[in-house]
C-alpha cells in the first residue's frame, strides 16, 4: 500500500496551485467559486436558481426530492439540454435532446466505487445518430471555437493521467487491457492500491470530530403525519428504471411499487396485502400498492424511488444537511390511508 493524501483537495476547496495547473493545461481561466450541489440548483433562493441546465445521464424528475418542485423549476428555465440514451421523464422537459451511446456502444474506461479503473470495449456500433459522450461534448466545444481535438477515449484518458499523476499516471491503456487497477497508482511499476488506508492514517494520527445530533424538527411526526417514510432500492430495478424498466425479465420480477408496512400498523389501519393506499406528506401525495412485512418497524413505511407512476420523491423533504448538503430523503413524515 501507499500513504495517501489527496494532492487536490485541502478541506473542501481546490488550492490556487492546482487551479493554476489545470488552467494552464486547458487554456482557460477557472473560477475559484465553489460549485453548486444538485439540491442548491433546484431548491435555492429563486433569485439564485439555475436558468440553464445541461443534464447528462441523470433523471432528477424522478430521483430528486420534492419532485413537483423540480418539475416547476424545469418548466421555468430558459434552456435545457438533456444527453441520454432514452427519452426519460426529465428529457421530456428539454429544449434539445442529444442521443448518447450506451455502455455497450462505446470504448473507454470505467471507475467503480472500490477505486478500480477498468477498460470497457464497444460490442456494437451506436444506433442511429447516437454518439459516445466524449464525442458529443467535443463537437459542442468545437462549435464554441474551443480547441478540443481528441481522436479517441485513450487520448482523453492520457490527459487524465498527465494532470492527476498521483492517482492515475501508472494506469496506461496497455496495463488496463490486462487487468483493472485501483488508484492511487502513481507509476508504471506500481501495483495499484487495493487497501487505501492500511496500518495508519495518511495524516499520521486519526482526526476525531464530534457532531451534535440534531433531529429534523420540520419532519417530526405528529397527529396529521404519524409515520416516517424512508426510501431505498429494490433488487430487480435500478435507480429510475431508465434501462431496467425496458427489460422484460426484470419487469416480470418487479413491475410496480409496493410500499412496505409492518403487520402491526397494517392491522391498525385495517389494511390487507395488495391494498391500494394513499400516502401524503407535507409536500404532496400519491397512491400505491402496499405489502405487509417484518422488514420495517412499526411507525415506519418504506418505498423505492424506481417507479415514475408512483414517484415517491413527490413526498420527500428537500431540506439539506448543513455539513453534507444532501437532502433528507430518508426521513419524511407521512400519513397512510386506504385509497
Q: Is the pLDDT of residue 143 over 70?
A: yes
CB burial readout 79-116, b (16+ within 10 A) else e: ebbbbbbeebbbbebbeebbbbbeeebbebbebeeebe
Q: What is the mean pLDDT of residues 1-16?
A: 51
Q: How confident is the model at residue 6 (pLDDT cuts 50, 70, 90)?
A: very low
Q: Is the pLDDT of residue 3 over 90?
A: no
Residue with cell 493554476: 20
**pLDDT score at 197:** 82
CA distances from 211 to 80, 116, 143, 189, 307 (A): 39, 32, 49, 42, 35
C-alpha cell at 53: 441546465
Average pLDDT, the chain: 90
**pLDDT score at 201:** 76
Q: What is the mean pLDDT of residues 57-70?
A: 93
SS3 of residue 260 by DSSP: strand
Cα separation, 284 vs 272, in Å, equals 24
Instruction: Write out the residue limits of the CATH 2.40.40.20 domain(s) in the chain.
Output: 219-338
**pLDDT score at 122:** 97
Helices vs. strands in the chain: H and E counts, helices first: 10, 14
Q: Residues 6 or more apart from 22 whose CB is under 8 A from it? A: 30, 163
Q: Residues 6 or more apart from 128 whose CB is under 8 A from it? A: 99
Q: What is the mean pLDDT of residues 43-63?
A: 86
Percent of the chain whose predicted confidence (pLDDT) is above 70: 94
Q: What is the 3-state secondary structure (H, E, C) of 136-196?
A: HHHHHHHHCCCCCCCCCHHHHHHHHHHHCHHHHCCCCHHHHHHCCEECCCCCCCCCCCCCC
Instruction: Write out the residue limits of the CATH 3.40.50.740 domain(s) in the chain.
Output: 9-182
**pLDDT score at 135:** 97
Query: What does the CA dihedral 64, 226, 280, 219 come to, rounded to 10 degrees?
Result: -30
Q: Is the pLDDT of residue 2 over 70?
A: no
Q: What is the mean pLDDT of residues 261-284?
A: 96
* CATH code for residues 9-182: 3.40.50.740
pLDDT in tens, 93-141: 999 999 999 999 999 999 999 999 999 999 999 999 999 999 999 999 9
Q: Is the pLDDT of residue 43 over 90?
A: no
User: Under CATH, what is the fold of the domain 219-338?
Assistant: Barwin-like endoglucanases (2.40.40)
pLDDT in tens, 162-218: 999 999 999 999 999 999 999 999 999 999 999 988 887 777 777 788 878 776 666
Q: How confident is the model at residue 13 (pLDDT cuts 50, 70, 90)?
A: low
Amino acid at each position: 500500500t501507499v500513504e495517501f493524501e489527496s494532492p487536490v483537495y485541502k478541506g473542501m476547496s481546490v488550492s490556487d496551485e492546482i487551479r493554476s495547473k489545470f488552467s494552464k493545461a486547458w487554456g482557460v481561466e477557472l473560477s475559484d467559486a465553489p460549485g453548486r450541489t444538485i439540491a442548491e440548483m433546484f431548491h435555492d433562493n429563486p433569485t439564485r436558481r439555475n436558468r440553464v441546465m445541461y443534464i447528462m445521464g441523470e433523471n432528477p424528475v424522478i430521483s430528486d426530492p420534492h419532485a413537483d418542485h423540480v418539475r416547476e423549476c424545469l418548466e421555468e428555465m430558459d434552456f435545457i439540454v438533456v444527453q441520454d440514451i432514452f427519452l426519460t421523464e426529465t428529457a421530456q422537459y428539454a429544449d434539445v435532446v442529444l442521443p448518447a451511446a450506451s455502455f455497450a456502444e462505446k470504448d473507454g474506461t470505467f471507475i467503480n466505487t472500490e477505486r478500480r479503473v477498468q477498460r470497457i470495449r464497444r460490442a456494437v456500433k451506436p444506433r442511429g445518430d447516437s454518439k459516445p459522450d466524449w464525442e458529443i461534448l467535443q463537437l459542442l466545444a468545437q462549435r464554441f471555437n474551443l480547441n478540443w481535438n481528441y481522436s479517441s477515449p485513450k487520448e482523453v484518458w492520457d490527459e487524465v493521467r498527465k494532470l492527476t499523476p498521483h492517482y492515475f499516471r501508472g494506469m496506461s491503456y496497455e496495463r488496463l487491457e490486462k487487468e483493472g487497477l485501483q488508484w492511487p497508482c502513481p507509476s508504471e511499476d506500481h501495483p495499484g492500491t487495493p487497501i487505501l488506508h492500511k496500518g495508519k492514517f495518511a495524516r499520521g494520527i486519526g482526526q476525531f470530530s464530534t457532531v451534535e445530533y440534531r433531529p429534523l424538527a420540520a419532519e417530526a411526526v405528529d397527529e396529521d403525519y404519524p409515520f416516517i417514510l424512508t426510501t431505498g432500492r429494490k433488487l430487480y430495478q435500478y435507480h429510475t428504471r431508465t434501462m431496467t424498466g425496458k427489460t422484460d425479465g426484470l419487469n416480470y420480477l418487479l413491475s410496480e411499487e409496493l410500499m412496505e408496512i409492518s403487520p402491526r400498523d397494517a392491522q391498525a389501519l385495517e389494511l390487507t396485502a395488495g391494498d391500494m393506499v394513499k400516502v401524503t406528506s407535507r409536500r404532496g401525495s400519491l397512491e400505491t400498492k402496499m405489502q405487509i412485512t417484518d422488514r420495517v418497524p412499526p411507525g415506519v413505511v418504506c418505498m423505492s424511488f424506481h417507479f415514475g407512476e408512483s414517484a415517491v420523491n413527490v413526498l420527500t423533504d428537500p431540506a439539506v444537511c448543513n455539513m453534507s448538503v444532501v437532502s433528507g430523503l430518508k426521513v419524511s413524515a407521512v400519513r397512510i390511508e386506504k385509497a
